[in-house]
Amino acid sequence: MNKYEALRALDLDETANEQDVRLAYYGIDKAISSQSFEDEGKVTTLVDNFKAYSLDARDFLLANGIDADGNDGMVDRVFRKKVKTEKLKVSAADDAWARLSGFDLLRGRLLSMRENELSKIRSCIVALVLCVVVSFITIRFLRATPRFVVEGVLLAIIIFASVVLTDAQKWSKIVKAHVTDIDDRVHALKEKLGIDDPDYVPPEQRVEGNAFTRFWGRVRAAFSRLAAKVRERRRRRGEARGADGASRGKRTAIAKAKGSGAGHEDITGATRAGAVADGKEDSDERQ
């Protein structure tokens, strides 16, 4: 390690002094201790290495001085023990700024790891899709013996890609949970320091899952809205048809009622006419 690597590890420039170096590592240590990284495999290893590298950077800068040359140097155990036993006096404002810087560095490391896991996920998905395509091609164009060989190779690739995909999804989810918690803590610190945080998303507005699951969620929501519109349109059509059927039934009933009334009037008229004719015949016979 040299001076420039040590300054880069603590996110400092060449104008920093010993107090800045101590505060930088103080913030990193507080940021790491605020999270629980026990028994998390890759994440625990990443955080332990990050903390050890930051500690080496701090001790190197304090032992050799900020203005030392950029050549490699070593830090003896006596100096490490002396620095460890020294108590750092930190004000409330310095504590908040140091934690903010430490959270930012830790978040960057975690996001780098998550990006690697997401890259694995994308590669595995591409591999699985290609295996399916090649499998269909072999079924269509190859004979039985070479086809069995190719299918065996594809099956081994599919199993390996599935294992890697499952593992990558697991670690990506774990890292995302830590990043989300860090974002909440950073937002609280910025509020304490009076700093605006326009990129912060409140918990109630967050969409869980990766980019694919968010995209699929939007697609499902769009289909749900479309299905709701179709159901509403069908309901309105049913109501319109029911109303039309009711009106038709009403018109039919009225027409039938009119028809029966007219027939009754015709029958009554014929009866009256017959009675008049019978009366005339009786009168003629009397005469």
Select the more confidently predicted residue: 127 or 271: 127
The answer to whether the beta carbons of residues 98 and 11 sit under 8 Å apart is no
**Percent of the chain whose pLDDT exceeds 70:** 70
Total number of residues shown for the chain: 287
pLDDT, mean over the chain = 76
Rg (CA), the chain: 43
pLDDT digits (tens, 9 = 90+) for 13-23: 888 888 888 88
Closest CA to 46 of 123, 95, 117, 121: 117
Lowest-confidence region among 48-52, 62-66, 84-88, 122-126: 84-88
Lowest-confidence region among 80-84, 109-113, 163-167: 80-84
pLDDT digits (tens, 9 = 90+) for 143-200: 777 778 888 888 999 999 999 999 998 888 888 888 888 888 888 888 887 887 767 6
pLDDT of residue 279: 53
